[in-house]
Amino acid sequence: MITKKIDNKTIRYLNYLKDVFGNKLMLKKNLFTNKLEVYKREIENCKKCQLGNTRNKFVFGDGNANADIMFVGEAPGATEDETGITFVGRAGKLLDKLLMEIDLHRDDVFIANVLKCRPPKNRDPLPNEIATCEQYLHKQISLIKPKVIVALGRIAGKTLIKKELSLGKMRGNAYNYQNVDLYVTYHPAAILRNPNWKESISSDFEMIANKYL
């Protein structure tokens, strides 16, 4: 069993609390826990829509709980559903490379999806699934407090801006989502299918880094 050593400063603080409140001190659940991790535990068994019955893993999101940049895709894919980790596989590796181009690592940002469970056969999210699951994204944003949100792909973009537009018309424009600046760019998987768009997504990442970092 692995145990963590408590430093002297923490011991003194705990002894102070004991002196003030006595031996029956009740600590808040999240006193020594990341609030985002606490929230994950609260919702990871969600069965509010049919996807809760078909998923393998609930894909909450990964990264820095205090990130300045938050990336949002539409929904988990097959590999995410298997691992419970956002943006893994070839698309995830490309996203890592795009972050390296602006001197960032995956641990510097937060990556999530609108839906936390994979739709069967990777179909587009249904309106009722979005209506049910989007509240979780709202809470994540309120806890992380990013400076900017980047929607990855047309489906994620139109879902967040609530407009039926092509990616070309969404890209390059500033929107507002949950009182946070929002931009829309290509999904890394789209770049794998069409490498000619690589320069465009790199340009979007550079613009966002220059403006918000």
51-67 pLDDT, tens digit per residue, is 999 999 999 999 999 99
* β-strand partners of 180: 177
CA 153 to chain centre: 15
pLDDT beyond 60 at 27: no
84-113 pLDDT, tens digit per residue, is 999 988 999 999 999 999 999 999 999 999
More confident: 14 or 74 = 74
Residue 123 lies in a domain: yes
Residue 13 lies in a domain: no
Q: What domain range includes position 56?
A: 33-212
Q: Are 61 and 112 in contact (CB under 8 A)?
A: yes
Considering its fold, how many domains does the chain have in total? 1
Judged on CB neighbours under 10 Å (0-12, 13-18, 19+), 194 is exposed
Q: What count of other Cβ atoms lies within 10 Å of the Cβ of residue 211?
A: 12
13 contacts: CB under 8 Å, gap ≥ 6: none
Distance, in Å, from the CA atom of 164 to the CA atom of 113, rounded to the nearest integer, reads 19
The CATH number that applies at residue 74 is 3.40.470.10
